[in-house]
Chain A
């Protein structure tokens, strides 16, 4: 293992342990788990597709919130304590540091976000009523694979949400600016970009032909589009509106992730 890779892993390990020892984050994760299990319970009796669709909106809202709790203080905390200045005297590049922080926090975030999803699937396993499958075209195609797709797409969405939060954390100079920047970016992700697209369509600034690409610009729309396109559409009994081309959506999420980590790396040791 190279020295730089060893240092990235050290930073990642410290970032992971920091999250695990933070009571506020643990409380947020517990709240998220209760909410997800609650929404899953509401859809008990249906199959995997029903569960996936019932969880879609809660995931769109809650995953960025949990990512915010896990990541907003990640780099900002080191800056306000003065530890970033100390870290700069070590042979550790800004890129390695940001990548380590991201990987460590991502591991913790994925545990927090995905474990409740696994538990929620138990509701289908134990409480499914075969005769009530009215959403899927055939009971036989409503398999766990449907839910696994939601699981993977949620992990991808969480990764992007965390990258945005880490980038913001690297840019912020003070605790107050960190919170303000995080809230603004959260609002932008959750509603701002979607509202901008709707406004653009309403005022004819945006043509319908470019909608796929524009929806991919919004991480939330990209996630929703991917879920509808890859989870729901293949087995739904009726056409489902809102899906976008998976290529555009994946590209959009990837660009957000890479660009926010790159911005964080560039400005962390400013």
Chain B
């Protein structure tokens, strides 16, 4: 039997606007199975919009989206601030989502994968922000979707939890899942991403592996390369032309 060599996710020439405000202008992204692609960019650059289109939550104004169709769940999605019914426990939450996909799901294994086994019987209301993020990640893997999209999976978390989440993402990708994530955490992106896409003003202004980006920008780290690509003002500036607070 021949192996499917098509990418798990392909976005071609995606354009999107909110009213008169153009957010994405001809953006193309390809994510292969087992690889991690990180979207970087200042606030308002279109990262969340692009992720929403990749996850099938938003239709682009123009362009094409093709996803690997396994027959069950196609895309796993972790929103910027995942939230669940507070009166249910962690295990009950995962059990509920597990009933929505074909086939059996091992709830214990799903929680173990992200390190939440110890709090399986804890109510969601009693979880910390980091644990809720991990629960969101666990939810996104239910049904083994071939594509995983994550919006700022580690923002606002302590360094230990950020590492934990990054490690969990690497493990998920190692199982063949195509991962597309938007992040401001440059250190994590440098560590786990196979490819970095830098979005600015609704367009991709740089696209390479972390090492290549550093080399091209003649920088010691991705942080430095990012500064170089966007200019130091770009790091803190909100690009009004790309949607302002629509994104992030």
A3, CB-defined interface residue at 8 Å: yes
Q: Which one of B82, B85, B87, B101 lies within 8 Å of A90 (CB-CB)?
A: B101
- Of B22-30, B73-81, B195-203, B211-219, the one with at least 4 CB within 8 A of chain A: B73-81
Chain A's closest residue to B81 (CB) is A82
Residues in chain B near residue A89, CB distance under 8 A? 55-57, 73-77, 140, 145
- Cβ contacts B17-60/A at 8 Å (1 or 0 each): 00000000000000000000000000000000000100111000
Is A7's CB under 8 angstroms from B81's CB?
Answer: no
Question: From A269, which residue of chain B is reached at the shortest CB distance?
Answer: B57
B83 contacts A by Cβ under 8 Å: yes
Establish whether residues A85 and B57, one from each chain, have CB atoms under 8 Å apart when the complex forms: yes
Q: Is A130 an interface residue (CB 8 A)?
A: no
**Chain-A contact segment, one of B92-100, B163-171, B182-190, B233-241:** B92-100
The chain A residue sitting closest to B147, CB to CB, is A89
A22 on the B face (CB < 8 A): yes
B79 contact from A17, A18, A21, A85, Cβ within 8 A = A85
Instruction: Please indicate the chain A residues that have their CB under 8 angstroms from the CB of B81 in the complex.
Output: 82
Selected from A3, A7, A17, A82, the residue in CB contact (under 8 A) with B83 is A82
Report if A14 contacts B (CB, 8 A): yes
* A86 vs B137: C-alpha distance when bound (angstroms): 11
A22 cross-chain contacts in B, Cβ below 8 A? 87
Question: B110 at the A/B interface (Cβ < 8 Å)?
Answer: no
A90 engages B96 (CB within 8 Å): no
Once the chains bind, are B100 and A90 in contact (CB under 8 Å)? yes
Contacts of A88 on B, CB cut-off 8 Å?
56-57
The verdict on B102 contacting chain A, using a C-beta distance below 8 Å, is yes
Contacts of B77 in A (CB 8 A): 85-86, 89
Residues of chain B within 8 A (CB-CB) of A90 are 73, 97, 100-101, 143
B99 touches A6 (CB 8 A): yes
Chain A residues whose C-beta falls within 8 Å of the C-beta of B139 in the assembled complex: 86
Number of chain A residues close to chain B: CB under 8 A: 21
Contact residues in A for B84 (Cβ distance below 8 Å): 81, 83
Query: Is B72 engaged at the interface, CB distance under 8 Å to the other chain?
Result: yes
For the complex, give the distance between the alpha carbons of A17 and B87 in Å: 9
Contacts between the two chains (Cβ within 8 Å), count: 62
Best-buried of B74, B82, B100, B145 by chain A (most CB within 10 Å): B100
Docked Cα-Cα span, A110 to B82, in Å, equals 32
Chain B nearest CB, measured from A78 CB (Å): 8
Beta-carbon contact of B100 and A14 below 8 Å: no
CA distance A81 to B82 in the complex (A): 8
Distance to closest chain B CB from A70 (angstroms):
15
Instruction: Check if A10 is an interface residue, CB within 8 A of chain B.
Output: yes
* A21 and B73 contacting across the interface, CB-CB below 8 Å: no
Within 75-127 of A, Cβ neighbours of B (below 8 Å) are at 77, 81-83, 85-92
Contacts A18-B87, A81-B84; A7 near B100 (Cβ below 8 A) = yes
* CB under 8 Å from chain A, chain B span 84-126: 84-85, 87-88, 96-97, 99-102
Q: Do residues A10 and B96 form an inter-chain contact, with CB atoms below 8 A?
A: yes
> What's the minimum C-beta distance from B3 to chain A, rounded to whole angstroms?
25
Contact yes or no, B56 A14, CB < 8 A: no
Report B55 CB to chain A, min CB distance, Å.
6
Question: Closest CB of chain A to B205's CB: distance in Å?
Answer: 28
A90 to B75, CA, bound (A): 8
- Whether A21 contacts B87 in the complex (CB less than 8 A), given A88-B57, A89-B74, A90-B73, comes out as yes
Distance A82 CA – B99 CA, assembled complex (angstroms):
19
Bound: A17/B140 CA distance, A: 23
B72: which A residues are within 8 A, CB to CB?
A: 91
Contact B99 A10 (CB under 8 A): yes
Interchain CA distance A6-B73 in the complex, whole Å: 16
**CA–CA, A87 and B57, complex, Å:** 10
CA–CA, A22 and B85, complex, Å:
11
Q: A81-B85, A86-B139, A91-B101 are in contact. List 20 more A-B contacts (CB 8 A).
A: A10-B99, A17-B88, A18-B88, A21-B88, A77-B85, A81-B83, A82-B79, A86-B77, A86-B79, A88-B56, A88-B57, A89-B73, A89-B75, A89-B77, A90-B100, A90-B101, A90-B143, A91-B72, A91-B100, A92-B100
17 contacts between A and B (CB under 8 A): A3-B102, A7-B99, A14-B85, A14-B88, A18-B85, A18-B87, A21-B87, A81-B85, A83-B83, A83-B85, A85-B57, A85-B79, A86-B77, A89-B145, A90-B100, A90-B143, A92-B100
